[in-house]
A and B are shown apart, each in its own frame.
Chain A
Amino acid sequence: MTEQEKAATIESLKRGDEKAFKAIYLDTKSQFIPWIKTQYGLNEDNALDLYQSAFSVFYEKVEGGSFNFSQSAPATYIIAIGKNLALKTLKQNSKVLDPKELIFQHYTQEDGEEKKVLLKKMLLGLEQLKEPCKTLLEMYYYKKMSLKEIGNKMNHGNANVTKTQKSRCLNYLKKLIKKDK
């Protein structure tokens, strides 16, 4: 990919263009896989699992608006995450990698065991959460939309209805988490 193509791809990534994600995925993969295999003695399957986990994190950061393109190039960021995950995996002596577990490890690397357990329970709770609660909580806690914006999207009429609905959904999620205890 030329520098010009890279710049154009970054603009497309910012717009959430799936084709741009795929282009970056394939371009970075050709650098990452041979390098990580040689560097850490990984087999093809494990190298791919690591790469896909690292790329999923990058994808989430771009989608969630927290990736700063001026601070880091996508490839540099993806390779750094992949390297970090590889180091952790080697420390744990894992022979088979679970990409979901790798992703979890990335997001919880600073957390204590207690918080990790709580997050696992939250993830189970979110899996069981039904609509419209799932979308509402996602808009508030992930997309960082205001109650007014959520109310408009969900045709609630006014922000107070959204606020009440959000509290109900949160309580329902807490019940689901407790149920699994």
Chain B
Amino acid sequence: MNFEENKDLFIRGALNEEETLKFLDSLDKAQKKEIEEAMELSAAFQIKKAESNLKKIQQYESKKTKVVAFRAWAAAAASLLLLAVFIWISKDSGAEKLANQHFSPYPNIAQPTMRNASEAAKDPGFLAYDAKDYHSALNAFNNKDSELDTIAFYKVNCLLALKEPQQALALLEMLNQKESTAFILPRKWLEALIMLMNKEYDQAIIALNQYFASGNAIEKQKAKNLIKEIEQLRP
């Protein structure tokens, strides 16, 4: 049997213990890499399946959700009252403050800190980003290839952390125009927050509805909550 046939049987778990050992021993470097990739992809599908099961399971809790929803409603009503007083006191800063409350820089998954790994090998931009030094991170990212979508996305985060929403929006628009697939969902969230900062409430809600449509249960809830808060805030 050739490699391709054996590989298929191995992936499907159709080889017995002896055949598996023989097959793994026979692999060259490239074949070994191919098998590792296949195993990683199988693992990724398992995780994805478990994540989608989570959505089903959360629906088992419908009754509880209603109770929680009622409590949340009561809490929201109380918050609304407080918010109304707050808006009455400081009408202008409400939208920006709400957006800032819902903003936190996206975690660095591009070059996360690894155990036992040397920090020296890490991109200076991401080193600064991890240290929450967004000014230095932005400078370092500016020196990199601005065509890289991931870098552009992290620049958007830096700009928002540095309270530069208009520059951040320009970068987001650039990514949208080139139909970048990088970080689509988190980008939508940031777009909604910038629209909110600009008091473009309708645009913010449109972006949040798009976020809601593609998000998981938690993300949907997050969008719903913010839409509610915006509805309470708008004139």
Contact = CB atoms under 8 A, between A and B. Distances in A.
Contact of B45 (A113, A120, A138): A138
Interface string B208-228: 000000001010000000000
Given A118-B40, A180-B150, A55 B57 contact: yes
A115 B12 CA distance: 22
Nearest to B41: A141
B47 A107 contact: yes
A108 B44 CA distance: 10
Contact of B218 (A57, A99, A112, A176): A99
B12 A144 contact: yes
Interface stretch (A2-10, A34-42, A59-67, A87-95): A59-67
B184 A119 contact: no
Interface of A is mostly: helix
A103 B182 contact: no
A53 B181 contact: no
A25 B60 contact: yes
A113 B114 contact: yes
Interface of A: 18, 21-22, 25-26, 48, 52-53, 55-57, 59-60, 63-64, 98-100, 103-104, 106-108, 112-115, 117-123, 126, 128, 137-138, 140-142, 144-147, 173, 176, 179-181
A119 B150 contact: no
A63 to B, nearest CB: 7
Contact of A141 (B11, B51, B57, B58): B11
A180 B51 contact: no
Contacts of B12: 144-146
A144 B13 contact: yes
A56 B109 contact: no
B132 interface: no
17 contacts: A18-B56, A22-B60, A48-B61, A52-B57, A56-B57, A59-B56, A64-B46, A98-B218, A100-B51, A100-B216, A106-B50, A108-B43, A118-B40, A122-B40, A123-B44, A138-B45, A179-B181
Nearest to B219: A100
B182 A126 contact: no
Contact of B184 (A99, A120, A128, A146): A128
B32 to A, nearest CB: 15
A32 B51 CA distance: 20
Question: How large, as a class, is the contact surface on chain B?
Answer: 35 or more
Interface in B12-52: 12-13, 38, 40-51
A22 B61 CA distance: 10
B216 A107 contact: no
Contact of B53 (A60, A120, A126, A147): A60
A99 B56 CA distance: 13
B57 to A, nearest CB: 5
A32 to B, nearest CB: 13
Contacts of A56: 50-51, 53-54, 57
Contact of B181 (A26, A106, A128): A128
B229 interface: no
Contact of A60 (B46, B150, B182): B46
B189 to A, nearest CB: 15
Interface in B48-89: 48-51, 53-54, 56-58, 60-61
B8 interface: yes
A55 B45 CA distance: 17
